[in-house]
Amino acid sequence: MDGRMVKVGLIIMIDRKFLAVTVGAIFVLGMYGPNVAEIIQSAEAHGVQAQLQSRFIQITNEAISRQSLATGETLVLSGALVSLVERDQRGWISLFSESTNSGNRWEIMARDPPGVVFEIGGNSITPYAITAKALEPGVYHVHTQLNVANVGPGLGPGTTVVVEGEAIIKPIPWGMLAYQSIIIAAAYVITFATRPWQVI
Amino acid sequence: MVWLRRCTHYLFIVVVAVNSTLLTINSGDYIFYTDWAWTSFVVFSIANTLMTIVGAVYYLTFTGVPGTATYYGLIMQVYTWVAKVAWFALGYPVDFIVHPMWIPSCMLLDLAYWATKKNKHSLIFFGGVLVGMSMPLFNMVQLMLIADPLETAFKYPRPTLPPYMTPIEPQVGKFYNSPVALGAGAGSVLACTFAALGCKLNTWTYRWMAAWSKWD
């Protein structure tokens, strides 16, 4: 038998190089095929209505003060939380909106009820308001997000909001970067002074 | 199998690589997400201290060169600096991530080894205490140089944070109301045990290599 040929089964003989290339190609295709297919197709669901109302506490009468604003301006998202259970609950209110990246799109300036975590009385109606400053331009579907302790999240119906203008970037912590850089530089000095990679 | 004895130093390099990445950097999710930094400070500090010291001591006792632990910390620090770029590419702000600060504690480990004339017992005790107490301290300094972590969590709602997870205050009332105090105290005790483990791993490695290389 030729050294380069591989016996597969009882009869078929395949060139070893050909076999190696084939197996390798199958591996690569299996690994990257789905990624390539993903590039070709795209599925977007912007503006899909969220249907995630909590069954414990409903978000009703959701209203927004404005639907078009520039970065740096604020909007107020308000409404009422209707508790459908007898037990008192604890929760915190936030703002939920999709975006193309993970950047800071909103800065929450004020909350009503004040503070972060607050009590929601059983079988009661609690009005809420959240003031948020827009930081990034884009088209958002903005929802109230109520997170209830030991229960989970709930979203309001949401409103489309358009934000225009230059993005506002959070201040860069130069002090922290300087602290790290100085220490890393000192470590380089010690490392090259002692050359520890030379094994004794 | 004498090739085992000849390749011992490669094994050390592999262990250093694995311990620094899979164990140390990944302990406690490897990079401080600052909105959770205050809540998770104690567990991050202890986990990082233990994993750092075992790898650093293993490497330090292998080379015998004071400066090796600093080198070990430097590798991790530079690696995570590069990895942080991925977060910026996704749009996260600069102070959303702060790296744990390993280098100064590793420098103290080198200092302990050098000052005690490469005495392993002293390395375990003095080095362990120094690393355990200093790592939370140096990380505390980092958090002081950025915007308040807990406030950041609520002012800038993170889109990928599970909404029912609310960062809470660390439960450290008994410990001078400070996660740094608890992290330093617990770390200083526990770090000695892992420093000892690092030394033992070094000894065992040499013994195994000597034994296995005689199998043929």
Map out the domains of chain B with their CATH numbers: 2-157+166-212 (1.20.1450.10)
Q: How confident is the model at residue A47 (pLDDT cuts 50, 70, 90)?
A: very low
pLDDT of amino acid A91 = 85
**Type and span of the H or E element at A132:** strand A125-134
Would you say B172 and B179 are in contact if contact means Cβ atoms under 8 Å apart? yes
CA distance B132 to B135: 6
For the segment A9-20, what is each residue's pLDDT rounded down to a tens digit? Answer: 665 677 888 888
- pLDDT-derived band at A1 (thresholds 50, 70, 90) equals very low
> With contact defined as beta carbons under 8 Å apart, do A54 and A152 qualify?
yes
Q: Which residues of A touch B156 (CB under 8 A)?
A: 104, 106-108, 170
Cβ–Cβ of B67/A191 closer than 8 Å?
Answer: yes
Better pLDDT: A47 or B198: B198
B92–A102: do the CB atoms touch at under 8 Å? yes
- pLDDT of A4 strictly over 70: no
State the ipTM, two decimals: 0.88
Do residue B154 and residue A116 have CB atoms under 8 angstroms apart?
yes
Closest chain B residue to A176, measured at CA: B145
Contact A46, A139 (CB under 8 A): yes
Question: Do residues B132 and B190 touch, judged by C-beta distance below 8 A?
Answer: yes
How far does B98 lie from chain A, in Å, by closest CA?
A: 8
A101, A146, A183, A189: best to mutate for the B interface, most B CBs within 10 A:
A183
Measure the CA dihedral A127/A130/A131/A136, to 10°. Answer: -150
Optimal mutation site among A118, A146, A180, interface B, most CBs of chain B within 10 A: A180
Is the Cβ pair A200, B63 closer than 8 Å? yes
User: CA B110, CA B67: separation in Å to the nearest integer?
Assistant: 6
Touching check for B64 and chain A: CB below 8 Å?
Answer: yes
SS3 B141: helix
Inter-residue contact A156 to A59 (CB < 8 Å): yes
Average pLDDT of the residues of chain A: 83
CA of B108 vs chain A CAs: smallest distance (Å): 12
Q: So where are chain A's domains?
A: 5-40, 57-164
What pLDDT score does B162 carry? 56
Q: Which of A99, A153, A183 sits opposite B163 (nearest CB)?
A: A153
Q: pTM (2 decimals)? A: 0.73
* Distance spanning both ends of chain A, measured CA to CA: 51
Q: Would an 8 Å CB–CB cutoff place A185 in contact with chain B? A: no
Cross-chain Cβ contact A194/B158 below 8 Å: no
Contact with chain B for residue A177, Cβ under 8 A:
yes
User: In the prediction, which pLDDT does A168 show?
Assistant: 87
Query: Count of alpha carbons within 13 Å of B177, Cβ hemisphere only?
Result: 0
> Cα separation of B140 and B134, whole Å?
10
Residue B145 has phi, psi (to 5 degrees) of -95, 5
Amino acid at the residue B195: A
Q: Where are the beta strands (DSSP E) in B6-142?
A: 32-33, 97-98
> Which residues 88-147 on chain A approach chain B with CB closer than 8 angstroms?
92, 94-99, 101-108, 116-117, 145, 147
Encode pLDDT of A108-166 as tens digits. Answer: 999 988 878 888 999 999 999 999 999 888 888 888 988 887 777 788 888 999 999 99
Report yes or no: B20 at the A interface, CB cutoff 8 Å. no
With a CB-CB cutoff of 8 Å, which residues 120-159 of chain B face chain A? Answer: 141-142, 145-147, 154-159
pLDDT score recorded for residue A14: 74
Chain A contact for B6, CB < 8 A? no
Reply yes or no on whether the pLDDT at A32 is more than 90.
Answer: no
Please report residues of A whose CB lies closer than 8 A to that of B106.
Answer: 187
Q: Which residues of chain B have pLDDT under 50?
A: none
Cβ separation of A152 and B166 shorter than 8 Å? no
B152/chain A closest Cα distance in angstroms: 9
B93 contacts A103? CB cut-off 8 A: yes
- The pair of three-digit structure tokens given for residue A176, joined into one six-digit string: 């922290």
Yes or no, beta carbons of B64 and A200 under 8 Å apart: yes
Is the bond leading into A113 cis (omega within 30 degrees of zero)?
yes
CATH topology of domain A57-164: Jelly Rolls (2.60.120)
Instruction: Identify the bridge partners of residue A164 per DSSP, sorted by sequence position.
Output: A70
Contacts of A187 (CB under 8 A, 6+ apart): B70, B71, B73, B74, B77, B103, B106, B107
Per the CB < 8 Å rule, is B157 touching A96? yes
